[in-house]
Amino acid sequence: MSQATDGDALAQDTDTELTLLDSATLERQQARLLYERARSSAIAVFMIVSVYCAMLTFTVPLSGVAMWFCASVVMIAVTLIQPACFRATGITLENARDYLWWHTLISSVTGVTWGLGSVFLTNVDDVLSVFTTSMMVLGITLGGVSPQSAYRRSYVGLATFVMLPYGFYILLTAPWPVSATGAGVLLGYAFFMSSSARVELATRDAIAVRQNKSLLEQLRVQRDEFQKVSDDKTRFLAATSHDLAQPLHAQGFFLAALKDKLTEPAQFELLAKIEDSWRGLGNLLDGLVDVSRLDAGAIVADQRTLDLGLFAGRIAGEFTAVADEKGVDLIIDCGSVFAQTDPILFARIIRNLLSNAIKFTDPGGRVEVSVNAQPEMIEVRISDTGCGIPLDKQDLVFDEYVQLGNRERNREKGLGLGLSIVRRLASLLKIDLSLVSSLGEGTDFRLGVPVANLVQCGEVGREEQRRDRVLVASDLCILIVDDEDAIRSGMTTLLSSWGCQVLSAGSGEDAIGLLTHDQATPDVLLIDRRLGGTETGMDVVERVRDELNEDIPVVLMTGDIAAAPEDFAIPGLKLLHKPVEPSMVQSLLAEIAERKTYANRDAF
């Protein structure tokens, strides 16, 4: 039975399966199209049948027209009964094939009814009768090409039983040249079959496009949901890390200041244990913060030319005491080679890999660090004779929170973020990272670092030599601005023990008052980024510099994981993320003190 609606009436499939357009899904979509078109198609067919009945009254007795009309109405009713039987369950993957089978059967029976009826109603000796019934056969069959294309087998059943019996009947029984009409009907049948095949392909493409749109929409919704979860996690982590960093930050300065007050070995031993616990908490927080900042793109590489061998050897030397304490032989073979990288981020990579290597190497084992020049890169290798990593786990170890040997989640073994951070940092620095390992035979990490511009190497060498000297932070006047009393107290105590003159304020207003009262000009501004109320550290920097009319160096400290140096585009600013190691502050202050010393010498 023909169904007079166009192929653009594809219904929205709100629960489309997340699969490719396989046969089951295609059949379901085809059945849904036929199901949804049933009523409109029945109305259209009824109108067509009524028009042709009116035309047939001019060539056929009224009784014959009435019989054909009644038979057609019965078939129209059957086509409406079929979808009604499926209304309770709808069209599903399970019943779609049954629906299509019944639809094909009904279409074929409808074709038989119309085909035999056309033969019965035609007087082959009457040209007008042959012309009328031929137009009826061709019109009914042509009208079914587009709507029946949703499932071509139904159309083939309809067209075959309508056109072939009638075409052969006219061709074989009508006198010449009227019999040529039968040949025309048969040629029309061949043309309709070809056209229906093309329409079916177009309909399948339309179904596929609609399904793809539905899939894309579902993926977009899921992506938005995942993004919302990720954003919520980032905001939660940002707030939590800031709140956790504040007390840890203050504790670090109190512990460093306390060290200068102790005299007994037992006291130093107890303080060392407290420092280890404090540093462990700081490392856990740093790991969480680093992963989030890297994922958020808040860390930007500051590529420099440096002697990678000298630099890596110095970093590896930090682990000598740890290796000796565990009984692991640490071998450092780092020749002088220049590379282009970010020293701070690259140092984090080396520290994470070395920490893992020593942690997973048994006493009596060996850890080697080497730096060698290759034709197109500098190769840094960190290898150990530890337990090794199974082949099927070597990609997994770079995922977050994965620890192959820590099922009990012992916090002393970290959170499983070290290698995840290494992979992210290597990607950021455009370093080729590779891993070679066998279970029970140790692990070998290899880093391919870009070669440096050799024109700059001479100046870099002199800068490295300057940094190797022991620097002193004393004799500096430092202005501290932080709204938390504990942090100000701890920093003041420690900086004073280093020989610095310290001015401490809780806000920008207090800072300006101190500078006016003491008539002092600080050498460094040590400022918290987030202060009380709506005031920020940058506001204080601007006010102090305007007040003194001088670009005083700034050390800005923040617990915001998304903060990045490029967010503060002012000269002479260093950004530190809390909790800050006192040694890092001392190193920065020492560099500022050195620059001040050189500036004073140049003035003379």
My answer on whether 364 and 481 are in the same domain is no
My answer on whether 416 and 494 are in the same domain is no
The candidate with the shortest Cα–Cα distance to 147, out of 12, 44, 27, 24, is 44
Say which range, 158-172, 240-254, 559-573, has the weakest mean pLDDT: 559-573
- Give per-residue pLDDT as tens, 43-57: 878 888 888 888 888
Q: Choose from 165-169, 197-201, 215-219, 597-601 the range with maximum mean pLDDT.
A: 165-169
My answer on whether 439 and 488 are in the same domain is no
The candidate with the shortest Cα–Cα distance to 2, out of 113, 147, 103, is 147
My answer on whether 530 and 562 are in the same domain is yes
DSSP codes of every residue in 179-214: THHHHHHHHHHHHHHHHHHHHHHHHHHHHHHHHHHH
**b/e 120-154 (16+ beta carbons within 10 angstroms → b):** ebbebeeeebbebbbebbbebbebbbbbbbbbbbb
User: Last residue of some domain: 468, 498, 519?
Assistant: 468
Q: Output the six-digit token pair for 151.
A: 């499932």
Other beta carbons within 10 angstroms of residue 321's beta carbon come to 10
Distance, in Å, from the CA atom of 95 to the CA atom of 277, rounded to the nearest integer, reads: 65
Taking all residues of the chain, what is their mean pLDDT, rounded to a whole number? 77
Q: Output the six-digit token pair for 183.
A: 């040949």
Distance, in Å, from the CA atom of 429 to the CA atom of 221, rounded to the nearest integer, reads: 33
Quick one: what percent of the chain has pLDDT higher than 90?
A: 2
My answer on whether 510 and 391 are in the same domain is no
My answer on whether 188 and 323 are in the same domain is no
228 located within any domain? no
Distance, in Å, from the CA atom of 236 to the CA atom of 223, rounded to the nearest integer, reads: 20
State the pLDDT at residue 368: 92
Find out whether 342 and 305 touch, Cβ atoms under 8 Å. Answer: no
518 located within any domain? yes
| Domain, as residue range, for 403 | 304-468
My answer on whether 556 and 425 are in the same domain is no
My answer on whether 575 and 500 are in the same domain is yes
State the pLDDT at residue 168: 92
Q: Output the six-digit token pair for 436.
A: 């070679």
- Say whether pLDDT at 394 is over 70: no
Q: Tell me how many domains the chain contains.
A: 3
Find out whether 378 and 448 touch, Cβ atoms under 8 Å. Answer: yes
What mean pLDDT comes out for the span 434-452? 85
My answer on whether 392 and 518 are in the same domain is no
Backbone phi and psi for residue 502, each to the nearest 5 degrees, phi listed first? -120, 130
What mean pLDDT comes out for the span 359-366? 88
258 located within any domain? no
User: Last residue of some domain: 423, 446, 468?
Assistant: 468
Helix (H/G/I), strand (E/B), else coil: 433: strand
What mean pLDDT comes out for the span 574-599? 77
Helix (H/G/I), strand (E/B), else coil: 397: helix
Distance, in Å, from the CA atom of 1 to the CA atom of 152, rounded to the nearest integer, reads: 12
- CATH number of residue 509's parent domain: 3.40.50.2300
Q: Are strands 304-307 and 338-341 parallel, antiparallel or unpaired?
A: antiparallel
- Give per-residue pLDDT as tens, 56-104: 888 888 888 888 889 888 888 888 888 888 888 888 888 888 888 888 8
State the pLDDT at residue 317: 85
Q: Give the residue, 438 or 105, on which the prediction is more confident.
A: 105
Find out whether 547 and 512 touch, Cβ atoms under 8 Å. Answer: yes
524 located within any domain? yes
Distance, in Å, from the CA atom of 242 to the CA atom of 558, rounded to the nearest integer, reads: 8
Alpha-carbon dihedral sign for residues 357, 363, 369, 370:
negative
What mean pLDDT comes out for the span 570-598? 77
- Say whether pLDDT at 192 is over 80: yes
- CATH number of residue 428's parent domain: 3.30.565.10
- Say whether pLDDT at 554 is over 80: yes
Find out whether 162 and 19 touch, Cβ atoms under 8 Å. Answer: no
230 located within any domain? no
Q: Give the residue, 239 or 331, on which the prediction is more confident.
A: 331
My answer on whether 51 and 197 are in the same domain is yes
411 located within any domain? yes
- Say whether pLDDT at 278 is over 70: yes
- Give per-residue pLDDT as tens, 7-27: 333 333 433 333 445 677 778
Alpha-carbon dihedral sign for residues 446, 447, 453, 457:
negative
Find out whether 21 and 213 touch, Cβ atoms under 8 Å. Answer: no
What mean pLDDT comes out for the span 354-378? 87
My answer on whether 337 and 444 are in the same domain is yes
- Give per-residue pLDDT as tens, 131-183: 888 888 888 777 666 566 677 788 888 888 888 998 899 899 989 888 898 89
- Say whether pLDDT at 198 is over 50: yes
Say which range, 245-249, 407-411, 469-473, has the weakest mean pLDDT: 407-411
Residue in the block written with tokens 């998304």: 562
Other beta carbons within 10 angstroms of residue 283's beta carbon come to 15
State the pLDDT at residue 355: 85
State the pLDDT at residue 409: 44
Classify burial at 440, counting beta carbons within 10 Å of its beta carbon; exposed 0-12, middle 13-18, buried 19 or more. Answer: exposed
Please give the model's pTM, rounded to 2 decimal places.
0.46
Q: Give the residue, 392 or 464, on which the prediction is more confident.
A: 392
189 located within any domain? yes
Distance, in Å, from the CA atom of 546 to the CA atom of 330, rounded to the nearest integer, reads: 52
My answer on whether 170 and 143 are in the same domain is yes
229 located within any domain? no
User: Last residue of some domain: 433, 468, 503?
Assistant: 468
Say which range, 30-39, 264-273, 288-297, 549-558, has the weakest mean pLDDT: 288-297
